[in-house]
Amino acid sequence: LLNPFRYGVLTWQYFSHKVLRWTLAPVSLFLLLFVNAAILLMPGEISGFYIWFFAFQLICYFFAVVGWILGNRQLRFKILFVPYYFVSIHYAAICGIFRFFRGKQSASWEKSKRAA
């Protein structure tokens, strides 16, 4: 399955849908905010696309923070929880990547104790 010469498109689908989605996407999500801020701080004329995209990013992160605060107070608004869960999932993926590379994440599971 991982041999691109033998499986071709299937290898690419596996790699892009399983590997890149859970490694590259979370890191690039947070890097986009800083890259876009750096673009806006550059001297010269800036395209309106970058301004709108940065504003959209800030609004989404603001909704995520508000969703987190309201979630701690047991108030639920679906419009705020979509960005909150989206950011939470990507943050957890980044934490998992760091734990994996530091060798603190085991791939094996321990069996849970069952009541007799």
User: Quick one: tokens of 101?
Assistant: 């590379």
Q: 38 in a domain, yes or no?
A: yes
Residues whose CB falls within 8 Å of the CB of residue 62, separated by 6 or more in sequence, listed in order: none
Q: How many separate domains does the chain show?
A: 1
Give percent above pLDDT 70 in the chain. 97
Q: Closest Cα to residue 53, out of 38, 67, 33, 82?
A: 33
Q: 85 in a domain, yes or no?
A: yes
Q: 113 in a domain, yes or no?
A: no
Q: 16 in a domain, yes or no?
A: no
pTM comes to 0.71
Q: 1 in a domain, yes or no?
A: no
Give me the mean pLDDT over the 13-41 stretch. 86
First to last CA, the chain: 42
Which pLDDT score, from 0 to 100, does residue 66 have? 92
Q: 5 in a domain, yes or no?
A: no
Q: 6 in a domain, yes or no?
A: no
Determine the structural domain holding residue 79 and report its residue range: 21-101
